[in-house]
Chains A and B, each alone.
Chain A
Amino acid sequence: MELTISRAEILALLPAAILFFTGLMQLFLDLGKSSANTRSEKTHLAMIGVTGILLALASLFIQGVEPSSGALYAGAMTDDLFGRMGAGVIIITALFCSLMAGGYLASSGNNRAEFHSLICFSGGAMVLLCQATNLISIFVAIETLSLAVYVLAGYFKNHQASSEGAFKYFVLGAFSSGFLLLGMAFVYGASGGSISLADIAASATHDDTLFAVGTFLMVIGFGFKVGAVPFHSWVPDVYQGAPVLSVGWMAVAVKSASFFALFRFVLFTGGGQILAQILAAIAVVTMLLGNLAALNQLSLKRMLAYSGIAHTGYLLIPLVLAVSGSGAIAGASIPFYLISYAVTTLAAFGVIVAISVATDRDDVQDLNGLARTRPLLALGFTVALLSLAGVPLTSGFIGKLMIFSDAIEGGFLHLALIGIVASLISIYYYLRPVVAMWFKEPSTSFDLIPASWGVQFTVAVCAIATVALGLFPDWLVNLSKLSVHAILG
């Protein structure tokens, strides 16, 4: 058999390949220097990381904005707009995480190459996951990124909570991978032995029990990664224990990549009304539980963990629509919402990184009077929280508006109503930090180390992007629609 690799195939692999290579470079260059800890000694790590990530980002644009969507590598992956949007979210998130990593790690005495390179490795795997179009490549990508993220979660190996969180994550993750794999096996069987999504879509019938159960088990596997109820129990513990930056990375990149892959899968295969109903139930429970459990959280990280669960719930609504066959309606909201969620959450985590560097804690009380000591950080955090709550003029509002109006259009009025009620509840806990920052007296022990410029840059850019997307969402909405319609053909 003759193996030829086309130009398109090389280009498709380029972003992931650059990321993997960057990670390797960082590891090699840090050999023998792992004991050094200050920021200046490790600047090269961040420099390499940022350069590599920027190159990866640039490589997304090589073919212009209308990449081919044909099957590459014998149907293992594709290089369409949808995949590139996913890759874009992940690479930009990686960029901000790398920018913040140096200062954060140095302050906790753990500034080693592993963290930087694990971001790049898992980032590469996520890019592949967004592009994957057969069961094998999906599984390989998801396992590669999971392994890297397990390590990231337990990166502070001397912290008990960090190690405990990582262990829980690993055990439960292995458990869920089992479901994913079993689901894939069922789907493989039900579709008569095909692994490519296109072939599965062609041969699958929704009435087939084997196929329905298989699809559902696969959804469970992904549902674990994105923290859907009842597969969410790891989220709060891991978020609280793991290093803040790893949490930010997990909250944004892992969730985005999983949703991009899951959505591509259900767009291809569908699933039928029954599966849609069950997913709708999961969405309802996830939205409600996420928001209700967040109400009484005083730890910022835990609060954001539950808020992340709630946002998973909102994101499941377009998924339900896609499963029920209304993917064309729901399409645009997924890429848009994930991009909006990415910039918003990054802004929020930027501030939490600054707080935890300064105080090593993450209570809402630690924010008291932040507006007086560091008004710009407080402003950025406020914008992020308002966007998470879905207040108009922010991207979060547009995202929710799209999801809820799509739900109504697709015939799932009750999902939209519950989503709106859940959003209302969420305003309560999103406003608590805002009140603390702007209306409380600074606590006397509050002594914030000046946030590193990486953090400031991240918060500023992401907050501005949040507002900008809230004011001028048109171009991104259109791009999102274009990407989904390209998949549906």
Chain B
Amino acid sequence: MDTNLLWIVLLPFLGFLINGLLGRKLGHKTVSVIACLLPVLSFVVSYAAWSRLVDGANALHWNGFPWIWLEGTLEVPFALHFDGLAAVMCLVITGVGSVIHLYSIGYMKGDPGYHRYFSYLNLFTAFMLLLVLADNLLLMFIGWEGVGLCSYLLIGFWYEDDANCAAGKKAFIVNRIGDLAFLIGMFVCLQHFGSLDISMLTSAEEITRVSAETLTFPWGAASVVTTIAVLLFIGATGKSAQIPLFVWLPDAMAGPTPVSALIHAATMVTSGVYLCCRLMPLFEASPAAMGLIAAVGACTALLAAFIAFTQNDIKKVLAYSTISQLGYMFFAVGMGAFSAALFHLVTHAFFKALLFLGSGSVIHAMHHEQDMRKMGGLRNRLPFTHITFLIGTLAIAGVPPLAGFFSKDEILFAGFQQGFLNAVGSAQLFWLISFLTAGMTAFYMIRCVAMTFWGESHVEESLERNVHEPGGWIGFALFVLAIASALGGFLNVPEFLGGHASLGHFTGLHHSTSDLSVDQLRSLHVSEWQSMLLSVLIAGSGLMLGIHCYGKGRDLRTSFNDSSAGKALGRLSASKFYVDEIYDRIFVRPFETLSHLLFILIDRIIIDGILVNGLALLTRSTGNVFRRIQTGYIPGYLLTFGCGVLVLIFILLNFLREGGAQ
């Protein structure tokens, strides 16, 4: 029983309450102090809890209170659970979150919605922590929905602009589709496991018991475990922007840039990956679902990386990059390398937050210009931002020994192992895809750096004189995250490089190698070396190609234009595979037409016309009649009274006579 766990969630929530209710009166300084201090405190509490785990304590647990309690059928406590996995997530959320809060002080300075912004951000932190700490799926779902809500509120933060509101709504609605699958998944869990407790859903005996059961669908039978795993994964594709529900994330860039860093890069979008790690035994019990996850992850990684090639908006590049990296994480999950997925989640939180904050620094300096074609040569004006952005780029590209190198290498090796050592045919293909994507990642990121910071300046002259390095908290945040991106990889150095894979062991996601013989271990290490060399090679070639193409200020499309195939590919990338348009034709427009029809027929004519206005007219006119009866004269009143009595007694007697006659 550890009540401190509650404070991890409660502290940021307190910040939301204070700033949300009183923020308007408090003044910017007080708002900033409250908004930043409380997540930092939450970080301290998380750190204290984490250090207890490191000292060898078992998972901490707060029993909470009975929340939804229908004796015997549905018993859901409001309880929190803090194990290694939750600890890592909590530290990332509160750590990176605090840094981004501090960054926001500089970024949002002078915004009229200052307190509103910080209260939303605190609320988001609270919900995200609730999601991570929840002891059961339903409570996790509260956090899941809560972060979705905050994401919606913050994407549409500058709500005066219709486009921002539309982006917020799109994110919310697309997420709802995934949430529906999540909900149905929970129902199936409840029906077959009889509980939503995560400890129940991950216990080996329960899974063995349930995996014998099957469900019959119109298209055939499926095992219960696979059904649950697939449904929860569909929920995860919504929140974590995977095929087919990734379309909301690029639009979500309409929100303030620190929001993109916190919600749409470092934390919320990774909650799908967290869900898979949290329920690792359940997913592992379903090879079919694992195959699906690997396929979706690899394809998403490739597709998003390809689209990122031709994006000119600096935040859009990062958005597609995020989708692509999330695809990596799911690929790792599908390969059974949950530890690698979590590791990449952590390092990605560092370097993607760094990249977003760096882009925010650029955007801030450029007075909200986001088009990279109007940038260039900013290296001289923004040297510090340039250096940190470059560190982030090299980290995501997988250049040793930066953070991304270790985590991506582990994922690629997981694919390599499944595909070639265990000789799973489909895994070979997926490995190839993600291997290629690693090169593509390096390429589009160096393109982004080149277009923004290198080469000739395309900045308008009037603007250029004012471009200067934002100092203060913005610089501080970039500094901290640059350090984290550079060194974050050492959290989980693999064994063949002399490390202990400490993160994997700590979270209990790492598959032990202790049962392997010395020979087996040696041959495993040899293949790990091979895989690592390959991934360094592909990252290096991606970087070189990018520098070659963009180093001289050339645009890939102009060089591609020579060949018709290149032209077509470029157009396909720039048009984002027409996914938005296809969804629009298939889902949005028919739905809109139908709802417009129903609106006219049911709402306007039947409800408004007949029921509401018609009834209102009827009631009002009856009311007026009654009012007129009230004349104010006693004789009239006596008459009503007397007549009423007479009529009623007459009826009474009549009835009584009939009753007597029977």
Contact = CB atoms under 8 A, between A and B. Distances in A.
A213 B653 contact: yes
A54 B205 CA distance: 66
B656 A293 contact: no
B644 A295 contact: no
Interface string B630-662: 101010111011011100110111011001100
Nearest to B641: A231
A470 to B, nearest CB: 22
B649 A216 contact: yes
Contacts of B656: 207, 209, 212, 274
B65 interface: no
A292 B623 contact: yes
Interface in A284-304: 289, 292-297
A12 interface: no
Contact of A274 (B624, B626, B644, B652): B652
A111 B623 CA distance: 38
Q: Contact size class for A?
A: 35 or more
Interface in A232-287: 233-234, 236-237, 274-275, 277-278, 282
A172 B637 contact: yes
A275 B656 CA distance: 9
B634 A171 contact: yes
A234 B660 CA distance: 36
B641 A233 contact: yes
A175 B634 CA distance: 11
Given A231-B644, A233-B637, A275 B652 contact: yes
B652 A172 contact: no
Among A172, A233, A237, A297: residue with most chain B CB under 10 A: A233
B652 A213 contact: yes
Contacts of A425: 619
A485 interface: no
A259 B559 CA distance: 92
Contacts of A171: 634, 638
B637 to A, nearest CB: 4
B620 interface: yes
Q: Contact size class for B?
A: 20 to 34
B652 A212 contact: yes
A278 B651 contact: yes
Contacts of A175: 638, 641
B608 to A, nearest CB: 16
B622 interface: yes
Among A230, A237, A275, A282: residue with most chain B CB under 10 A: A230
Contacts of B637: 168, 172, 233-234
Interface in A398-435: 425
Given A233-B637, A274-B655, A277-B655, A216 B622 contact: no
A333 B362 CA distance: 68
Contacts of A236: 630
Contacts of A275: 652
A229 B632 CA distance: 16
Given A179-B645, A234-B637, A274-B652, A296 B624 contact: yes
A90 interface: no
Contacts of A220: 645, 648
Given A176-B641, A233-B640, 9 more contacts: A168-B634, A172-B638, A175-B641, A209-B653, A229-B644, A230-B641, A231-B644, A292-B623, A293-B630
25 contacts: A167-B634, A168-B634, A172-B638, A207-B659, A209-B653, A212-B652, A220-B648, A224-B641, A230-B641, A231-B645, A233-B636, A237-B632, A274-B652, A274-B656, A274-B659, A278-B651, A282-B648, A292-B623, A292-B626, A293-B626, A293-B627, A293-B630, A296-B620, A296-B624, A297-B627
Interchain residue pairs A-B with the least CB separation, the first 8: A230-B644, A233-B637, A295-B623, A293-B626, A292-B623, A274-B655, A296-B623, A292-B622
